[in-house]
Structure 1
Amino acid sequence: AHDKARIKDAPGVEADGELSEAEEATLYEYYGIAGYSQYDGPDHDTLAGYERPREPVGRDTSGPTTDDAMTRSEEQLHVGTRSQEVGKARLRKYIVTEHVTTTVPVQREEVRIEREPITDANVGDALDGPALSEEEHEVTLRAETPVVEKDVVAKERVRLDKDTVTEEVQVDESVRKEQIETDAGPGADRRL
């Protein structure tokens, strides 16, 4: 790490975003970064029929030196489900009283006077007894009255059952990913 004063006194470079090779060499030398070498020539592995070992294109300046590549990582979102208790349901039986009105047909007896003339067929019954007398004749009348009885009748069986319902739930979450940029010349795509 370098202090503010050292950074402030660093050699000036143009602010156009592109370093010349000379400016780059000056900065390396100022900050004391060892291992900088300049290669003047085409950047390929075979030169005039001579096979040469591939040199690293760059070096890691932010940590330990590894190889000539950089790993780009990103977070991946993995969404699943888990079952958890969200409530309870129970059956409870209680009694309510309802008022019921119904109509029932009932019968009753009524008295009616029947008169029949004296004929030869009934003259014997009619003259049986004194010629004149006071007499009472009684008839019992009957009538139906509603009778209410209640009994308990099983009507249905009730139980709790569970159904599984599937619904779509939207999940929103942020994921981070690394971006890699290059300090390339003007007009070049800087993002890899």
Structure 2
Amino acid sequence: MTMQGIENVVGETAYDVSGDKVGSVGNLYASDSTGRPEWVTVNTGLFGSKHTFVPLDGAHVEKDGLHLAPTKSKIKDAPRIDAGGHLSEGEATELYRYYGLGTPKANGNANNGKAGMAGQPGMQNAKMDGTAADGSMVRSEERLRAGTETVESGRVGLRKVVVTEEQQVTVPVSHEEVRVVREPIAEGETGGRIGEDQREVVLHEERPVVAKETVAVERVGLETETVRGEEQITETVRKEQVEVDGLDDDGTGKHKKH
């Protein structure tokens, strides 16, 4: 995997060995001696706030991004190392041991007194080193990536209480009343006698009776509805520009004769 072939995935999506997304590709780290990329940082966490070193051994580039050899859990649990500048001997040793790549050995020829690794001394950030083995230069820029997180904004509950109210209903009722009815005796009828007598009539009436019964009238529940909207986020990003020194007006490096 050459620097020219992998530099295009910077800022793209990084996947683990199973194809699960683990974050975005951050910086490339190349060997001081060969210029070949050996490590990559993967930006994980909310808005890419965490930078994790992952070896490029076994990695490959596809249309959807960079596919790495370790698993997602292995990458997320990797040692936290400052993703800038030069990897020290201790940092390199810690990473090699964690990923099971063996133990790097100190190299007396490491640049600037930095301890190197066997066959590949001094892992240097490819972006900060500036120049690859073929003389080309990698230009990098920051890209704004916005995401969302779900937070609790409030709670709504149901509570049933008992209230009292008055209701009026109209009930038809009836009752019996007594009235005196007199009928004349026809001439020639007998049976009348003089003496005391008493009769009793039982009167009836209807009275309203109230009874209560409990019936279910409706079911009340709660449901949530997702309302989509948009919010604008403004953030400052940086990018690198490449300036060329030593060129003439005609775009060549030759000086004109007077």
- TM-score interval, normalised by the smaller of the two chains: 0.3 to 0.5
Higher radius of gyration, 1 or 2? 1
TM-score (norm 2): 0.37
Query: Relative to total residues, which structure has the larger strand share, 1 or 2?
Result: 2
Q: Which has the higher contact order (CA 8 A, sep 6+)?
A: 1
